[in-house]
């Protein structure tokens, strides 16, 4: 009897309305999921755009740092060339023993370069590199920032010349103090300026320092090697400078997509 009543209710049920309701519910769920996906895609695009903006700013900063570094390395190389001319032929800078001592000392100056990879590292570590839709651009960025990690370019640009501690160990301390106070200027950031300063010592005293340089084992050899390293470094960083320009153009193009 009860089974009969259940069959009657089942036959009276409006299946068409139920199916319509089910379809409406399903469509509502699908629409909600699609809206959620659209919203997530919008958020991802916005995050990707912010990353690209930051990378663009860092590339501009890299370009400026590269230009400043090349200029400084060339200045140091000029001092080094003058010191080599004295070591090989006895030539004095401007006929002055003091200026020649200064050339030896400033040839030991350093300015390392390290690309600003904060944004790229953040994207890589958080798994967000996929927010850059252009796969080729992702590869370009990875290769660009590899310069400060491992590989031949990175090794060439990590300067640690033996000449530097050697010549500074041979230069009297009071002379070094004078050089840092009067012949060198630290500018904004890592920028440096080397000044033509009057001598704090007599030409005879400067000559004694030059004599000590000449008697030091391997000083001239180490200076030559250091100058050769700087020469190659300028070539390498010049190539990186071109890569920076290409990346800047590609990042700008990706921002417009």
Listed in sequence order, the DSSP H helices in the chain are 2-12, 15-89, 97-106, 118-125, 135-145, 152-157, 163-170, 173-182, 203-215, 219-256
pLDDT of residue 93: 97
Closest of 105, 139, 109 to residue 124, by C-alpha = 139
CB atoms within 10 A of CB 59: 23
* pLDDT (0 to 100) of residue 151: 56
Q: Tell me, what's the pLDDT at 113?
A: 82
Q: How far apart are the first and last CA of the chain?
A: 71
CA distance 237 to 235: 6
**Residue 192 DSSP code:** E
84 vs 102: CA distance, rounded Å: 13
pLDDT tens for the chain, 257 residues: list them.
555 665 555 555 555 666 676 777 777 777 767 666 666 566 667 888 888 899 999 999 999 989 999 999 999 999 999 999 999 999 999 999 999 999 999 999 998 887 888 898 888 888 888 888 888 888 888 888 876 555 556 666 778 899 999 999 999 999 999 999 999 988 877 778 899 899 999 999 999 999 999 999 999 999 999 999 999 999 988 988 999 999 999 888 887 76
Question: Which residues make Cβ contacts (< 8 Å) with residue 231, sequence separation at least 6?
Answer: 77
φ/ψ (deg, to 5) at 202: -75, 165
Query: What's the pLDDT score for residue 34?
Result: 67
- Residue recorded with tokens 């740092």: 65
pLDDT in the model for residue 204: 97
Q: Which two tokens stand for residue 37?
A: 């996906």
pLDDT of residue 15: 54
The strand pair at 192-194 and 184-186 is best described as antiparallel
| Contact indicator for 103, 93 with CB cutoff of 8 Å | yes
SS3 6: helix
């Amino acid at each position: 009897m009860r089974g009969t009543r259940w069959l009657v209710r089942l036959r009276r049920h409006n299946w068409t309305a139920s199916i319509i309701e089910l379809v409406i519910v399903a469509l509502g769920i699908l629409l909600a999921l699609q809206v959620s996906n659209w919203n997530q895609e919008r958020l991802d695009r916005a995050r990707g755009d912010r990353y690209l903006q930051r990378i663009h700013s860092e590339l501009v900063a890299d370009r400026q740092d590269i230009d400043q570094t090349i200029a400084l390395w060339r200045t140091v190389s000029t001092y080094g060339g003058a010191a080599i001319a004295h070591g090989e032929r006895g030539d004095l800078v401007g006929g002055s023993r003091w200026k020649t001592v200064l050339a030896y000392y400033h040839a030991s100056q350093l300015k390392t370069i390290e690309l600003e990879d904060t944004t790229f590292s953040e994207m890589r570590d958080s798994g967000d590199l996929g927010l850059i839709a252009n796969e080729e651009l992702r590869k370009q960025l990875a290769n660009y920032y590899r310069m400060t990690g491992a590989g031949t370019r990175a090794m060439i640009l990590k300067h640690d010349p033996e000449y530097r501690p050697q010549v500074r160990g041979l230069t009297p301390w009071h002379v070094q103090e004078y050089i840092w106070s009067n012949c060198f200027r630290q500018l904004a950031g890592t920028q440096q300026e080397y000044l033509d300063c009057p001598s704090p010592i007599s030409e005879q005293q400067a000559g004694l320092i030059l004599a000590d340089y000449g008697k030091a084992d391997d000083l001239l050899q180490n200076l030559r090697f250091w100058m050769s390293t700087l020469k190659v470094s300028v070539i390498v960083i010049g190539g990186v400078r071109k890569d920076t320009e290409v990346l800047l153009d590609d990042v700008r193009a990706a921002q417009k997509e």
